[in-house]
Amino acid sequence: MKKILVAALVLLAALAAYLLFWPVPVQPVAWAAPASPGYQGAHAVNDRLAGLTLIQLPQGETGPEHVVLRDGKLYAAMASGRILRMQPDGSAAAIYADTGGRVLGFDFDAGGRLIAADAIKGLLAVAPDGRVTVLADQVAGDPIRYADAVVVARNGKIYFSDASRRFAPAEWGGTFEAAVLDILEQRATGRILEYDPATRQTRVVARGLSFPNGVAFSPDERHLYVAETGRYRVWKVAVDAHDLDAGSGSAQAQVLLDNLPGYPDNLMRGADGRIWVGLSGPRSAKVDDMAGKPFLRALTLRLPRALWPLPVPYGHVFAFDDSGRVVADLQDPSGRYPQTTGVTETADRLYIQNLHLGVLGWKPR
Protein backbone atom coordinates (compact mmCIF):
# COMPACT_ATOMS: atom_id res chain seq x y z
CA MET A 1 0.00 0.00 0.00
CA LYS A 2 2.83 2.36 0.87
CA LYS A 3 4.52 1.68 -2.49
CA ILE A 4 1.28 2.49 -4.33
CA LEU A 5 0.93 5.75 -2.41
CA VAL A 6 4.52 6.73 -3.15
CA ALA A 7 4.04 5.92 -6.85
CA ALA A 8 0.86 7.99 -6.95
CA LEU A 9 2.62 10.94 -5.33
CA VAL A 10 5.48 10.68 -7.81
CA LEU A 11 3.01 10.64 -10.70
CA LEU A 12 1.17 13.65 -9.31
CA ALA A 13 4.44 15.51 -8.85
CA ALA A 14 5.48 14.68 -12.41
CA LEU A 15 2.10 15.83 -13.74
CA ALA A 16 2.30 19.07 -11.76
CA ALA A 17 5.83 19.70 -13.02
CA TYR A 18 4.67 19.08 -16.60
CA LEU A 19 1.69 21.45 -16.32
CA LEU A 20 3.80 24.14 -14.67
CA PHE A 21 7.11 23.98 -16.47
CA TRP A 22 6.92 22.10 -19.79
CA PRO A 23 8.09 24.49 -22.55
CA VAL A 24 5.39 25.92 -24.79
CA PRO A 25 5.87 28.11 -27.87
CA VAL A 26 3.78 31.03 -26.61
CA GLN A 27 4.71 33.85 -24.24
CA PRO A 28 1.23 35.14 -23.37
CA VAL A 29 0.54 38.68 -22.20
CA ALA A 30 -2.47 39.97 -20.30
CA TRP A 31 -5.13 41.96 -22.11
CA ALA A 32 -8.58 43.25 -21.22
CA ALA A 33 -11.23 41.31 -23.13
CA PRO A 34 -14.55 43.19 -23.20
CA ALA A 35 -17.54 41.45 -21.68
CA SER A 36 -19.21 39.49 -24.45
CA PRO A 37 -22.58 40.93 -25.49
CA GLY A 38 -23.79 37.52 -26.61
CA TYR A 39 -26.28 37.16 -29.43
CA GLN A 40 -28.59 40.13 -29.16
CA GLY A 41 -29.60 43.30 -30.99
CA ALA A 42 -28.34 43.25 -34.58
CA HIS A 43 -26.82 39.81 -33.90
CA ALA A 44 -29.89 38.21 -32.29
CA VAL A 45 -30.01 34.45 -32.84
CA ASN A 46 -31.60 33.42 -36.13
CA ASP A 47 -31.43 30.57 -38.66
CA ARG A 48 -31.16 32.59 -41.87
CA LEU A 49 -27.96 30.77 -42.84
CA ALA A 50 -29.44 27.29 -42.43
CA GLY A 51 -30.32 25.08 -45.38
CA LEU A 52 -27.53 26.10 -47.75
CA THR A 53 -27.27 24.46 -51.14
CA LEU A 54 -23.96 22.61 -51.19
CA ILE A 55 -21.52 22.40 -54.09
CA GLN A 56 -19.34 19.31 -53.77
CA LEU A 57 -15.70 20.17 -54.40
CA PRO A 58 -13.42 17.87 -56.41
CA GLN A 59 -12.18 14.85 -54.49
CA GLY A 60 -9.53 15.74 -51.95
CA GLU A 61 -10.16 19.49 -52.08
CA THR A 62 -11.27 21.28 -48.91
CA GLY A 63 -11.47 24.71 -47.36
CA PRO A 64 -12.74 27.25 -49.92
CA GLU A 65 -11.38 30.01 -47.69
CA HIS A 66 -11.76 32.78 -50.27
CA VAL A 67 -14.02 32.91 -53.32
CA VAL A 68 -14.23 35.49 -56.11
CA LEU A 69 -16.54 35.71 -59.13
CA ARG A 70 -14.76 37.10 -62.20
CA ASP A 71 -15.85 37.04 -65.85
CA GLY A 72 -18.64 34.62 -65.01
CA LYS A 73 -16.37 32.08 -63.27
CA LEU A 74 -15.85 31.27 -59.61
CA TYR A 75 -12.29 31.19 -58.31
CA ALA A 76 -11.76 29.47 -54.94
CA ALA A 77 -8.61 29.03 -52.84
CA MET A 78 -8.22 25.52 -51.40
CA ALA A 79 -6.31 24.09 -48.45
CA SER A 80 -4.18 22.11 -50.92
CA GLY A 81 -2.61 25.32 -52.22
CA ARG A 82 -4.58 25.09 -55.44
CA ILE A 83 -6.90 27.75 -56.79
CA LEU A 84 -9.87 26.21 -58.58
CA ARG A 85 -11.88 27.83 -61.33
CA MET A 86 -15.45 26.63 -61.94
CA GLN A 87 -18.87 27.57 -63.21
CA PRO A 88 -21.14 29.38 -60.72
CA ASP A 89 -22.97 26.09 -60.06
CA GLY A 90 -19.68 24.34 -59.27
CA SER A 91 -19.47 22.38 -62.51
CA ALA A 92 -16.41 22.15 -64.75
CA ALA A 93 -14.05 22.69 -61.82
CA ALA A 94 -10.41 22.80 -62.88
CA ILE A 95 -7.08 23.81 -61.36
CA TYR A 96 -6.27 27.39 -62.29
CA ALA A 97 -3.00 27.54 -60.34
CA ASP A 98 -1.08 25.75 -57.60
CA THR A 99 1.08 27.92 -55.36
CA GLY A 100 2.43 25.07 -53.27
CA GLY A 101 1.37 26.98 -50.16
CA ARG A 102 -2.00 28.07 -48.75
CA VAL A 103 -3.75 31.04 -50.32
CA LEU A 104 -6.07 32.70 -47.80
CA GLY A 105 -7.11 35.73 -49.83
CA PHE A 106 -6.79 37.05 -53.37
CA ASP A 107 -7.85 39.82 -55.72
CA PHE A 108 -7.26 40.69 -59.37
CA ASP A 109 -5.21 43.59 -60.68
CA ALA A 110 -5.90 45.69 -63.77
CA GLY A 111 -3.74 43.40 -65.90
CA GLY A 112 -5.76 40.30 -65.02
CA ARG A 113 -3.19 38.82 -62.66
CA LEU A 114 -4.51 37.07 -59.57
CA ILE A 115 -2.81 38.69 -56.56
CA ALA A 116 -2.67 36.20 -53.71
CA ALA A 117 -1.88 36.40 -50.01
CA ASP A 118 -0.30 33.00 -49.40
CA ALA A 119 0.27 32.17 -45.73
CA ILE A 120 3.30 30.04 -46.64
CA LYS A 121 4.85 31.88 -49.59
CA GLY A 122 4.01 35.57 -49.08
CA LEU A 123 2.45 37.97 -51.59
CA LEU A 124 2.16 36.31 -55.00
CA ALA A 125 1.08 37.16 -58.53
CA VAL A 126 -0.53 34.46 -60.66
CA ALA A 127 -0.50 35.14 -64.39
CA PRO A 128 -3.46 34.07 -66.58
CA ASP A 129 -1.38 31.08 -67.71
CA GLY A 130 -1.03 29.95 -64.08
CA ARG A 131 2.59 31.01 -63.65
CA VAL A 132 3.29 32.05 -60.04
CA THR A 133 5.66 34.88 -59.10
CA VAL A 134 6.62 36.03 -55.61
CA LEU A 135 6.06 39.78 -55.26
CA ALA A 136 7.08 40.15 -51.61
CA ASP A 137 8.15 37.78 -48.87
CA GLN A 138 9.90 40.28 -46.57
CA VAL A 139 9.76 43.89 -45.41
CA ALA A 140 13.18 45.53 -45.02
CA GLY A 141 14.68 42.12 -44.33
CA ASP A 142 11.95 41.02 -41.93
CA PRO A 143 10.09 37.94 -43.27
CA ILE A 144 6.38 38.09 -44.04
CA ARG A 145 5.34 35.11 -41.94
CA TYR A 146 1.56 34.91 -42.37
CA ALA A 147 0.15 36.71 -45.43
CA ASP A 148 -3.59 36.48 -45.00
CA ALA A 149 -5.84 38.83 -47.01
CA VAL A 150 -5.30 41.25 -49.88
CA VAL A 151 -6.98 43.99 -51.93
CA VAL A 152 -5.72 45.83 -55.02
CA ALA A 153 -6.35 49.57 -55.28
CA ARG A 154 -7.36 51.33 -58.48
CA ASN A 155 -3.92 52.97 -58.56
CA GLY A 156 -2.33 49.51 -58.61
CA LYS A 157 -1.00 49.47 -55.05
CA ILE A 158 -1.60 46.28 -53.11
CA TYR A 159 -2.59 46.16 -49.44
CA PHE A 160 -2.44 42.96 -47.42
CA SER A 161 -2.33 41.63 -43.88
CA ASP A 162 0.57 39.83 -42.24
CA ALA A 163 -1.38 38.23 -39.42
CA SER A 164 1.50 37.23 -37.14
CA ARG A 165 5.18 38.06 -36.87
CA ARG A 166 5.54 35.26 -34.31
CA PHE A 167 3.96 32.15 -35.80
CA ALA A 168 4.49 31.17 -39.42
CA PRO A 169 2.12 28.39 -40.60
CA ALA A 170 5.01 26.65 -42.34
CA GLU A 171 6.75 26.24 -38.97
CA TRP A 172 3.83 25.63 -36.62
CA GLY A 173 1.66 22.94 -38.20
CA GLY A 174 -0.49 24.97 -40.59
CA THR A 175 -2.63 28.08 -40.75
CA PHE A 176 -5.18 27.08 -38.10
CA GLU A 177 -2.58 25.93 -35.57
CA ALA A 178 -0.46 29.07 -36.04
CA ALA A 179 -3.56 31.26 -35.66
CA VAL A 180 -4.49 29.55 -32.39
CA LEU A 181 -1.00 30.14 -31.01
CA ASP A 182 -0.99 33.80 -32.00
CA ILE A 183 -4.43 34.51 -30.54
CA LEU A 184 -3.61 32.65 -27.32
CA GLU A 185 -0.42 34.65 -26.94
CA GLN A 186 -2.02 38.08 -27.65
CA ARG A 187 1.23 39.92 -28.33
CA ALA A 188 -0.51 41.73 -31.21
CA THR A 189 2.37 41.47 -33.68
CA GLY A 190 0.20 41.55 -36.81
CA ARG A 191 0.45 44.31 -39.36
CA ILE A 192 -0.96 45.78 -42.57
CA LEU A 193 1.45 46.12 -45.49
CA GLU A 194 1.50 47.98 -48.80
CA TYR A 195 3.27 46.70 -51.92
CA ASP A 196 3.86 49.17 -54.73
CA PRO A 197 4.31 47.38 -58.10
CA ALA A 198 5.89 50.52 -59.58
CA THR A 199 8.80 50.48 -57.14
CA ARG A 200 8.55 46.84 -56.01
CA GLN A 201 8.85 48.10 -52.45
CA THR A 202 6.87 46.94 -49.42
CA ARG A 203 6.18 49.14 -46.41
CA VAL A 204 4.32 48.87 -43.11
CA VAL A 205 1.03 50.80 -42.98
CA ALA A 206 -0.07 49.76 -39.48
CA ARG A 207 1.14 47.37 -36.80
CA GLY A 208 0.21 46.28 -33.28
CA LEU A 209 -2.85 44.25 -34.34
CA SER A 210 -3.94 40.93 -32.85
CA PHE A 211 -4.14 38.65 -35.86
CA PRO A 212 -5.32 41.12 -38.53
CA ASN A 213 -7.26 39.14 -41.08
CA GLY A 214 -9.64 40.40 -43.77
CA VAL A 215 -9.14 43.74 -45.54
CA ALA A 216 -11.51 45.82 -47.68
CA PHE A 217 -11.47 49.35 -49.08
CA SER A 218 -13.68 52.29 -48.23
CA PRO A 219 -15.44 53.62 -51.37
CA ASP A 220 -12.81 56.33 -51.94
CA GLU A 221 -9.97 53.88 -51.16
CA ARG A 222 -8.51 56.30 -48.61
CA HIS A 223 -9.13 53.83 -45.80
CA LEU A 224 -8.92 50.11 -45.22
CA TYR A 225 -11.34 48.14 -43.10
CA VAL A 226 -9.36 45.51 -41.21
CA ALA A 227 -10.77 42.55 -39.29
CA GLU A 228 -8.78 42.06 -36.08
CA THR A 229 -9.63 38.45 -35.35
CA GLY A 230 -7.89 38.15 -31.99
CA ARG A 231 -9.80 41.02 -30.37
CA TYR A 232 -13.25 40.71 -31.96
CA ARG A 233 -13.28 44.00 -33.87
CA VAL A 234 -13.00 45.78 -37.21
CA TRP A 235 -10.72 48.79 -37.71
CA LYS A 236 -10.76 51.70 -40.14
CA VAL A 237 -7.16 52.50 -41.07
CA ALA A 238 -5.86 55.27 -43.36
CA VAL A 239 -3.93 53.83 -46.31
CA ASP A 240 -1.42 56.69 -46.16
CA ALA A 241 -0.42 55.83 -42.58
CA HIS A 242 3.24 54.93 -42.11
CA ASP A 243 4.26 52.26 -39.58
CA LEU A 244 1.35 53.31 -37.39
CA ASP A 245 0.88 51.63 -34.02
CA ALA A 246 -2.84 50.79 -34.06
CA GLY A 247 -3.05 51.18 -30.30
CA SER A 248 -1.50 54.63 -30.21
CA GLY A 249 -4.82 56.50 -30.39
CA SER A 250 -4.07 58.12 -33.75
CA ALA A 251 -6.95 59.44 -35.83
CA GLN A 252 -5.54 57.39 -38.70
CA ALA A 253 -6.67 54.15 -37.03
CA GLN A 254 -10.07 53.89 -35.39
CA VAL A 255 -12.21 50.96 -34.28
CA LEU A 256 -15.34 50.81 -36.42
CA LEU A 257 -16.97 47.68 -34.95
CA ASP A 258 -16.09 46.47 -31.47
CA ASN A 259 -16.92 43.58 -29.16
CA LEU A 260 -18.30 41.27 -31.84
CA PRO A 261 -19.86 37.93 -30.81
CA GLY A 262 -17.24 35.92 -32.70
CA TYR A 263 -13.89 35.95 -34.47
CA PRO A 264 -14.07 38.17 -37.58
CA ASP A 265 -12.32 36.73 -40.60
CA ASN A 266 -12.63 37.76 -44.25
CA LEU A 267 -14.10 41.09 -45.37
CA MET A 268 -15.74 41.21 -48.81
CA ARG A 269 -17.49 44.07 -50.62
CA GLY A 270 -21.04 43.17 -51.61
CA ALA A 271 -23.86 45.04 -53.29
CA ASP A 272 -25.36 48.38 -52.25
CA GLY A 273 -22.23 49.44 -50.39
CA ARG A 274 -22.26 46.70 -47.77
CA ILE A 275 -19.20 44.81 -46.52
CA TRP A 276 -19.66 41.17 -45.56
CA VAL A 277 -17.86 39.66 -42.56
CA GLY A 278 -17.44 35.99 -41.78
CA LEU A 279 -17.22 34.98 -38.13
CA SER A 280 -15.09 31.85 -38.14
CA GLY A 281 -16.35 30.85 -34.70
CA PRO A 282 -18.21 32.19 -31.68
CA ARG A 283 -16.45 33.58 -28.65
CA SER A 284 -15.58 31.34 -25.74
CA ALA A 285 -16.31 32.45 -22.18
CA LYS A 286 -13.30 30.40 -21.07
CA VAL A 287 -10.98 32.22 -23.47
CA ASP A 288 -12.31 35.63 -22.40
CA ASP A 289 -11.93 34.69 -18.73
CA MET A 290 -8.26 33.88 -19.35
CA ALA A 291 -7.52 37.22 -21.04
CA GLY A 292 -5.95 38.64 -17.90
CA LYS A 293 -4.35 35.31 -16.90
CA PRO A 294 -1.38 34.63 -19.21
CA PHE A 295 -0.24 31.68 -17.10
CA LEU A 296 -3.50 29.80 -17.70
CA ARG A 297 -3.27 30.38 -21.45
CA ALA A 298 0.22 28.87 -21.47
CA LEU A 299 -0.99 25.97 -19.37
CA THR A 300 -3.75 25.31 -21.94
CA LEU A 301 -1.16 24.28 -24.50
CA ARG A 302 0.14 21.60 -22.13
CA LEU A 303 -3.27 19.90 -22.18
CA PRO A 304 -4.46 17.43 -24.83
CA ARG A 305 -5.87 19.26 -27.85
CA ALA A 306 -9.33 17.89 -27.06
CA LEU A 307 -9.28 20.09 -23.94
CA TRP A 308 -8.32 23.31 -25.74
CA PRO A 309 -11.06 25.97 -25.58
CA LEU A 310 -11.63 26.03 -29.35
CA PRO A 311 -14.77 27.67 -30.80
CA VAL A 312 -17.79 25.40 -31.08
CA PRO A 313 -19.27 24.85 -34.58
CA TYR A 314 -21.53 27.78 -35.42
CA GLY A 315 -22.29 29.41 -38.76
CA HIS A 316 -22.44 33.21 -38.73
CA VAL A 317 -21.93 35.98 -41.28
CA PHE A 318 -23.10 39.57 -41.28
CA ALA A 319 -22.79 42.77 -43.29
CA PHE A 320 -22.17 46.38 -42.28
CA ASP A 321 -22.16 49.69 -44.12
CA ASP A 322 -19.43 52.32 -44.21
CA SER A 323 -20.73 53.95 -41.04
CA GLY A 324 -20.37 50.67 -39.13
CA ARG A 325 -24.10 49.91 -38.99
CA VAL A 326 -24.99 46.23 -39.22
CA VAL A 327 -27.37 45.80 -42.18
CA ALA A 328 -27.68 42.00 -42.40
CA ASP A 329 -27.06 39.05 -40.10
CA LEU A 330 -27.31 35.35 -41.01
CA GLN A 331 -26.70 32.51 -38.57
CA ASP A 332 -26.86 28.73 -38.39
CA PRO A 333 -26.75 27.73 -34.71
CA SER A 334 -26.83 24.03 -35.68
CA GLY A 335 -23.20 24.27 -36.74
CA ARG A 336 -23.79 22.12 -39.82
CA TYR A 337 -21.82 24.65 -41.87
CA PRO A 338 -19.17 25.91 -39.41
CA GLN A 339 -16.08 28.13 -39.66
CA THR A 340 -17.77 30.57 -41.99
CA THR A 341 -14.86 32.73 -43.08
CA GLY A 342 -16.69 35.11 -45.41
CA VAL A 343 -19.33 35.83 -48.04
CA THR A 344 -19.01 36.35 -51.78
CA GLU A 345 -22.06 38.22 -53.02
CA THR A 346 -23.03 37.95 -56.70
CA ALA A 347 -26.09 39.22 -58.56
CA ASP A 348 -28.21 36.29 -57.44
CA ARG A 349 -26.33 34.34 -54.78
CA LEU A 350 -24.42 34.50 -51.52
CA TYR A 351 -21.52 32.03 -51.49
CA ILE A 352 -20.43 31.21 -47.94
CA GLN A 353 -16.71 30.60 -47.59
CA ASN A 354 -15.39 28.10 -45.05
CA LEU A 355 -12.10 26.93 -43.60
CA HIS A 356 -12.15 23.13 -43.68
CA LEU A 357 -15.17 21.64 -45.45
CA GLY A 358 -15.16 19.74 -48.74
CA VAL A 359 -18.15 21.73 -49.97
CA LEU A 360 -19.01 25.32 -50.85
CA GLY A 361 -22.41 26.46 -49.63
CA TRP A 362 -24.64 29.09 -51.22
CA LYS A 363 -28.10 30.55 -50.85
CA PRO A 364 -30.21 32.84 -53.04
CA ARG A 365 -29.37 36.45 -52.50
Its domain, for residue 143, covers 2-364
Task: Please state, as a whole number, how many other Cβ atoms lie within 10 Å of the Cβ of residue 163.
Answer: 33
pLDDT reported for residue 5:
60
Task: Please state, as a whole number, how many other Cβ atoms lie within 10 Å of the Cβ of residue 314.
Answer: 23
Q: What are the residues whose beta carbons fall under 8 Å from the beta carbon of 3, sequence distance 6 or more?
A: none
The number of folded domains in the chain is 1
- The CATH number covering residue 208 comes to 2.120.10.30
Cα 104 to Cα 177: distance, rounded to the nearest angstrom = 14
Q: 240 and 221 in contact (C-beta within 8 Å)?
A: no
pLDDT in tens, the chain (365 residues): 666 665 555 455 444 444 444 567 899 999 999 999 999 999 999 999 999 999 999 999 999 999 999 999 999 999 999 999 999 999 999 999 999 999 999 999 999 999 999 999 999 999 999 999 999 999 999 999 999 999 999 999 999 999 999 999 999 999 999 999 999 999 999 999 999 999 999 999 999 999 999 999 999 999 999 999 999 999 999 999 999 999 888 899 999 999 999 999 999 999 999 999 999 999 999 999 999 999 999 998 888 878 777 889 999 999 999 999 999 999 999 999 999 999 999 999 999 999 999 999 999 99
pLDDT reported for residue 1:
67
Residue from 103, 94, 168 nearest 132 by CA: 103
The pTM of the full predicted model, rounded to 2 decimals, is: 0.94
Residue from 199, 207, 98, 209 nearest 157 by CA: 199
